């Protein structure tokens, strides 16, 4: 590795607990400054004259809009490159594409299928690469998710709230598929002292290799969050402050749709499930979106418990914070 190799954001595993905390806190600060009508001086023009390439091999609403908006807010130019716009994958290798694109831009934000694609892009890129969703991780979503929890639980009793996010001891229940969004959330939770209980149907548990990565994140945290796994949704939601889910059929799994819908029967997040399992009285609901009715009832999704639209908006502030840390500040996150 060259001493000038850029720092990439491929997973929350790439961050120390202090850096994850800083990215969330910076997102919070920028949100409040900008929404009150000012522009944070330390952000203004930090990407002026810079181009950010966005290579997306899959559809996106939130990640695309938040990233383009963040780049413009910071004075730069976002260049959206969908899968039919560039030669990648059809006529050109990842290696060639990475070397060429990174020679002309200040950052590559990439949405890919297999995680190895974004890892290869990063390996050969002379510009920082930010993972905009791979089959294993979704770090920008995780930053937004902890920002959303930080805002929703201001009273979480923690002696460290002054310096940290004050989320230690919070209990998150994940009911549904063990997927990319869960993996980065669980890694971040381990680092921040947030407990996670995961309910998946038999055969859909967290793969052992990923469990090892999550456990390693916990081992390196000053106060680690615990991870519990079960196949019983009621068990997972017991004492939960937040219930989270995502689609049962991620992009790229469309052929398994019928099989998955059947396997996940009984895993829909509903008020009855929360009540039967004994979630905390003021439990909140989160979902990265896009949402389908099978994984959560309308009655929960559109209820005052639901943080989903705040969570979606927080993608913008998370993108600003990540671009600030990895591009404007060249990976120095403080």
SS3 at position 198: strand
Cα(287)–Cα(301) distance, integer angstroms = 9
- By CB under 6 A, name the one of 46, 55, 60, 179 that touches ligand CP: 60
d(CA 191, CA 193): 6
| Residue 179 interacts with ligand NVA (CB under 6 A): yes or no | yes
288 assigned to active site:
yes
User: How big is the CA angle at 246 (ends 244 and 251), to the nearest 5 degrees?
Assistant: 160
Q: Is residue 180 part of the contact set for ligand NVA (CB under 6 A)?
A: yes
Indicate whether 245 belongs to the interface with ligand NVA (CB under 6 A): no
Catalytic option among 167, 196, 288, 300:
288
- Alpha carbons 197 and 173: distance in angstroms, whole number: 5
- Which token pair is 68? 């383009």
Which of 16, 38, 61, 87 touches ligand CP by CB under 6 A? Answer: 61
266: left (phi over 0), alpha (psi -120 to 50) or beta: left
How many helices (H) and strands (E) would you count in the chain? 12, 9
Interaction of residue 99 with ligand NVA, rule CB under 6 A = no
According to DSSP, the residues that pair with 197 across neighbouring strands are 173, 228
Determine if 67 is a binding residue for ligand NVA (CB under 6 A): no
List Cα–Cα distances, 186 to 171, 195, 276, 278, in angstroms. Answer: 11, 9, 24, 22
Cβ contact 133:14 at 8 Å: no
Residue whose C-beta lies closest to ligand NVA: 250
Q: Which does 172 bind (CB under 5 to 8 A by kind): ligand NVA, ligand CP, none?
A: none
Contact positions with ligand NVA (CB under 6 A) in 273-302: 288
**Residue 268 touches ligand CP, criterion: CB under 6 A:** no
Who contacts 175 (Cβ-Cβ below 8 Å, separation ≥6)?
199, 233, 236, 237, 243, 244, 245, 267, 269, 273
Structure tokens at 113: 């299928």
323 binds, among ligand CP, ligand NVA, none (CB under 5 to 8 A by kind): none
Chain centroid to CA 37: 27
Q: Determine if 63 is a binding residue for ligand CP (CB under 6 A).
A: yes
148 binds ligand CP (CB under 6 A): no
Choose the binding region for ligand NVA from 175-183, 197-205, 208-216, 301-309 (rule: CB under 6 A). 175-183
- CA angle at 260 for the pair 204 and 200, rounded to the nearest 5°: 30
Question: Is 250 near ligand NVA (CB under 6 A)?
Answer: yes
Taking CB under 6 A as the rule, which mask of x and - marks residues 103-142 in contact with ligand CP?
------------------------------x-------x-
**57 binding ligand CP? (CB under 6 A):** no
Q: What are phi and psi of 145, to 5 degrees?
A: -70, -40
Should residue 62 be labelled a site residue for ligand CP when binding is judged by CB under 6 A? yes
CB of residue 235 vs ligand CP: minimum separation in angstroms? 27
Positions marked active-site: 288
Chain residues that interact with ligand NVA, rule: CB under 6 A: 133, 179-181, 246-247, 250-251, 288
Chain residues that interact with ligand CP, rule: CB under 6 A: 60-63, 133, 141, 288-290
């Amino acid at each position: 590795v060259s001493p000038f190799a850029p720092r990439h954001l491929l997973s929350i595993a790439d961050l120390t607990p202090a850096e994850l905390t800083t990215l969330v806190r910076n997102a919070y600060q920028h949100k409040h400054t900008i929404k009150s009508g000012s522009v944070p001086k330390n952000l203004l023009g930090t990407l002026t004259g810079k181009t950010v390439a966005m290579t997306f091999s899959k559809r996106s609403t939130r990640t695309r809009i938040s990233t383009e908006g963040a780049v413009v807010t910071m004075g730069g130019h976002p260049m959206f490159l969908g899968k039919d716009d560039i030669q990648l994958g059809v006529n050109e290798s990842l290696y060639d594409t990475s070397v060429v694109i990174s020679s002309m831009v200040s950052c590559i934000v990439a949405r890919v299928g297999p995680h190895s694609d974004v890892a290869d892009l990063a390996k050969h890129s002379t510009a920082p690469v930010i993972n905009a969703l791979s089959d294993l991780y979704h770090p920008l979503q995780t930053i937004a998710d902890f920002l959303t929890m930080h805002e929703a639980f201001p009273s979480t009793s923690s002696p460290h709230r002054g310096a940290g996010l004050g989320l230690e001891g919070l209990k998150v229940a994940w009911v549904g598929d063990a997927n990319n969004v869960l993996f980065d959330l669980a890694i971040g939770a381990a680092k921040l002292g947030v407990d996670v209980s995961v309910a998946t149907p038999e055969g859909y548990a967290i793969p052992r290799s990923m469990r090892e990565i999550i456990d390693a994140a916990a081992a390196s945290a000053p106060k680690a969050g615990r991870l519990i796994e079960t196949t019983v949704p009621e068990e997972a939601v017991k004492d939960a402050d937040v219930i989270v889910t995502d689609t049962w059929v991620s992009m790229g799994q469309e052929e398994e749709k019928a099989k998955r819908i059947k396997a996940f029967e009984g895993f829909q997040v509903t008020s009855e499930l929360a009540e039967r399992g004994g979630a905390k009285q003021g439990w909140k609901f989160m979902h990265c979106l896009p949402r389908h009715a099978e994984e959560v009832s309308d009655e929960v999704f559109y209820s005052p418990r639901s943080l989903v639209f705040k969570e979606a908006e927080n993608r913008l502030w998370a993108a600003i914070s990540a671009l600030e840390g990895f591009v404007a500040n060249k990976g120095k996150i403080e």
